[in-house]
Amino acid sequence: MHQPAEAAGTYTLPGTTLTVNRMGYGAMQLAGKEGGKMVWGPPPDMEEAIAVLRAAVEDGVNHIDTSDFYGPHVTNQIIRRALHPYPQDLVIVTKVGALRGPDGSWNEAFTREELTQAIHSNLRNLGLEAIDVVNLRVMFHRFRPAEGSIAEPLSVLAELREKGLIRHIGLSNVTRTQIEEAQKIVPVVCVQNEYNLAHREDDALIEELARQEIAYVPYFPLGGFTPLQADALTRVAQELGARPMQVALAWLLHRSPNILVIPGTGRRAHLQENLQAAALHLPASALAALDAIPPANREH
């Protein structure tokens, strides 16, 4: 019997033997919250967090996105507790390039020492000897791509790859110029930028990456901390007998074959809803209505 996460098909990261279901899972929401500190400390319900991860894998998810700066450390530790020893086909993608301050802030951590420590911290907390994919999360602007050379930090990751601690490298929060700069240093297998129904600044970039068979992994696929809301989204969902978040995910999966989705949730009920989106067909009229949703104003 097919598992829910298989329904949208698979994608092989370019130049690798890593093939994942296009419907994946993003683990950031598993960490807790402490006052104004988001993605901080243990989750409110640890058993539910573990159950979400186990249910995801049972339902066919074999691509999990994480970082050691979620929690910090907490999300990776939950993944290890829930899933180690890992299924052979599970691809865990992490990111480095930021460190959390004691006040919960997210700060650039691009020095050789910081990047090396981040890789070792991910390996330790995930219980791995090598990480399948590491994204360099660029922090020149915290919420959107901003120009600037990434050659130095990327060269450090390339060296750690030579040493066998990292198998493949991706980029996050980057511009096309930065991707081109990176490709002169190391093969880039995936790009993770913010993109969803209401934020489509990367439309042209997605086409370009599709031509190169590089995976595009939109972060905040459901709108992030403030889930997407639009009249057209609600209407289409009603017409299809689906939930709005399912429609938002189905739209992304339809948008381009190189898009892999990693919706985040700390609840099994939402996980099940999200996974079902892999099988949701959007008719042409629904696609037209969704494509016409106007861009949202940036909160940041």
Ligand X SMILES: NC(=O)c1ccc[n+]([C@@H]2O[C@H](COP(=O)([O-])OP(=O)(O)OC[C@H]3O[C@@H](n4cnc5c(N)ncnc54)[C@H](OP(=O)(O)O)[C@@H]3O)[C@@H](O)[C@H]2O)c1
Contact residues: ligand X, CB under 6 A: 26-29, 65, 95, 137, 172-173, 192, 219-225, 227, 243, 245, 262-267, 270, 273-274
In the complex with ligand X, the residue whose CB is nearer, 54 or 163, is 54
| Closest CB 196 distance from ligand X, rounded Å | 7
In the complex with ligand X, the residue whose CB is nearer, 77 or 274, is 274
In the complex with ligand X, the residue whose CB is nearer, 144 or 167, is 144
| Closest CB 149 distance from ligand X, rounded Å | 19
| Closest CB 226 distance from ligand X, rounded Å | 8
DSSP characters for the chain?
A: ---GGGTT-EEE-TTSS-EEESB-EE-GGGS-EETTEESBSS-S-HHHHHHHHHHHHHTT--EEE--TTTBTTHHHHHHHHHHPSPPTT-EEEEEESEEE-TTS-EEE--SHHHHHHHHHHHHHHHT-SSEEEEEEE--SSSSS------HHHHHHHHHHHHTTSEEEEEEES--HHHHHHHHTTS-EEEEE-B-BTTB-TTHHHHHHHHHTT-EE--BSTT-TTS----HHHHHHHHHHT--HHHHHHHHHHHH-TTB-B--B-S-HHHHHHHHHGGG----HHHHHHHHTPPPPPP--
| Closest CB 178 distance from ligand X, rounded Å | 14
In the complex with ligand X, the residue whose CB is nearer, 5 or 222, is 222
The catalytic residue among 70, 195, 216, 219 is: 70
| Residue of minimal Cβ distance to ligand X | 264
| Catalytic annotation present for 25 | no
Q: Which residues are catalytic?
A: 70
